[in-house]
Structure 1
Amino acid sequence: MIRIARHLACLLAACAIAGQASGRDPDPDGWGIVTSQPITVAGHEFCRSFITAWLDKPGSDRYTIAIRERPSARWGTLVWVEYGPRRVLQVQLPPTRTALRALGENAAESAYQAVLDIERQRTLILDADLAPDEF
């Protein structure tokens, strides 16, 4: 339990430092966190370029997303981005590392647009039978 609390404190401190380093004040209404679990070198490089491009998007600091990776010797490395209970993006990483930077930047744009679409749907659909995360 103490390890989890320390890890969460480190994540929050890193978010605050990242917001100060980018010259933007974090949004007081929402604190978005980007978590990643890269396993391979390609996954680390993809996550690095994705997160850099994600933080450059306006308002991206309001959304909490998770980047997951599943390496496979047979099928290659699969990376996906989750926003809440939804998988908003899924990418198969190429075997060469030369295209990973551009792929990460393009993936960040696609994931950002998908998150914005989900948020637009939440504001438009009002149903008493559905919880906010069930849209």
Structure 2
Amino acid sequence: MALYDRAVLAYRAELAKPKGEKRHGLRAVCIAIEKLHFEETGKVVKLHHTRLNHYVDGGKTGVEAKAHRAWLTDAEEKIVVDFAIEMAWRGFPLSHGRLKDHVDLMAAARLGRAFPEEGIGRCWTTRFITRHSD
């Protein structure tokens, strides 16, 4: 979202201009940031004015909006990734089942009764591995 962050700042700067001075709208700001990004990186990226308006109004990204529903915090996810890497280096790579067991223990310790008895869902480990495959 770094481009949208820049666009939000640029649009707020436009809004801060004194009355009577020409202000650029959402679309013009999007186009300006797109051009600036292309000049800096050579990559074409499209910004949408309605999404920019959403962020200007204090809206959250999809990731931010879903963060409160995650089983693990970002710090806990990092711990799990580091643990999985450590185990792999020692010659004991984690299977999906073992990964699930460790995550279930961590999440249950933090969430208590709010964590379901069956633990994380069937596809959670696959999505986790995909998310952290770098």
Q: TM-score, normalised by structure 1?
A: 0.27
Higher relative strand content: 1
Q: Which has the higher contact order (CA 8 A, sep 6+)?
A: 1
| TM-score for the superposition, normalised by structure 2 | 0.27
